[in-house]
Every structure is written in C-alpha cells, then in structure tokens.
Amino acid sequence: RFVDLFCGIGGFHLAAQVAAGDLGIKALCVFASDIDPDCRDSYEANFGIKPAGDITEIPEKSIPDHDFLFAGFPCQSFSICGDRKGFEDARGTLFFDIARILKEKRPTAFLLENVKQLGSHDHGRTLRHIMRILESLGYHSQHRVLNALHFGLPQKRERIFIVGFREPRFFNWPRGIGPMKSLCQVLESEVPEFYYASHQIRENRLKK
C-alpha cells in the first residue's frame, strides 16, 4: 500500500507497479494528490484513481494508512531554472507537508525526489535541514543523485533521491541498466510551441 504525493501523471505509481510485479506482489495506491487539474485527469486516465488536490489543505489524519510514501515534491524553488529561494518560496515549504504526513502515518519507508541542486542549495544547509527533520521523525535516511542517462533515456536528467526507513537497513542503490536509447527513437517530429524550453532556460544553457 502506498501514497503518491505531488503525483503528476504517475511516474512513481508506474515504477511501484513494475517493482512489485518483479517481486510477485501487488502495489496498491491508496491515495494520490496533485494541485494540477490536468495532471489529475491524466493520472485518472492512466490508473483509474482520481487524485486529491492541494496537499496543504488535506489533514494528515484523513490520509489512509500505507506502507510506502512517494513524493516528487516541487523543485522550482531549488532549481537553477528558478529563483532558488528555497524555503522562502511557498513551493519549497511543501516538504513540511511530507514531514507532517510521515509523523502521523509512520509508513515503513519513503522515497523522495527533487532536482540535483537541492543538495547544494544554500551551501548544503537546506538538504542538511531536511535530513535532520527526517532523523527527528525516526527515519534512517540517505540520499544520492541519479542520472536518467544511465537508465536508458537519452537525456542528462540528474535528480536527487532521498530514501528512508523506520528500521536501519542497507539500501542497494541502482547502478544503471546499460546502453541508452538513441534520441531519434523518442523525439516527436511535430511539437507545439508551448513545450519548447523557455527563453531563460535557453539563455542559461548558452552561458554554460
């Protein structure tokens, strides 16, 4: 049983299904949440579950009991593409909604995801603060940056993952799966202008 916070269109959900299937068990989503109505519609189309809305308005006691918590909490306040205001940005404070749910529901384990820059934001103080909070909640946690490039995707997409368990245990971080697909195998030939990278992102790339 798992909950899927900031669920988007269901990346964690799909991964949970695949991982559970490999183990011969069933992964059951008992609660999902996302503030974006289009994401909620896509999630429902993909998995038959209608996610709840804004997590800040949902009492932690109302969330069903679960074994695992997944959360790709908003990254704009830590990303190089944003203003990097961290906890001073309302989106950056959404980690504390994860913390209040962990404190109340006490799942066996959790997996969180964010941009690589979370690790260096405010000279590392932001991540250290997050890890201290998780420790204070009784979780044994560790983090690592993984790159989608090493898992079959033709994209350098580095993300920090934080995994935690109520009981101390060894976690075997994945090492990648070998050769990636070529870019021509995944790109679409006709893409609406809406999906083009913003001017700010293009400028940042050119500067590098």
3-state secondary structure of 187: coil
Catalytic entry in 7, 29, 75, 184: 75
Q: How far is CA 161 from CA 158, 181, 200, 202, 204, in A?
A: 10, 23, 26, 26, 24
Q: Sign (positive/negative) of CA torsion 19, 8, 126, 55?
A: negative
Buried b (16+ CB within 10 A) or exposed e, 130-151: bbebbeebebebebeebeeeee
Strands 140-147 and 158-165, by their bridges, are: antiparallel
Structure tokens at 103: 């404190």
CA atoms of 116 and 149, how far apart (whole Å): 14
Rg (CA), the chain: 18
Q: Sign (positive/negative) of CA torsion 183, 16, 146, 101?
A: positive
Q: Which helix (H) or strand (E) holds 105?
A: helix 95-105
What DSSP state is assigned to residue 6?
Answer: T
Is 7 catalytic? The answer is no
Cβ contact 104:69 at 8 Å: no
- Where in the sequence numbering do the catalytic residues fall? 75
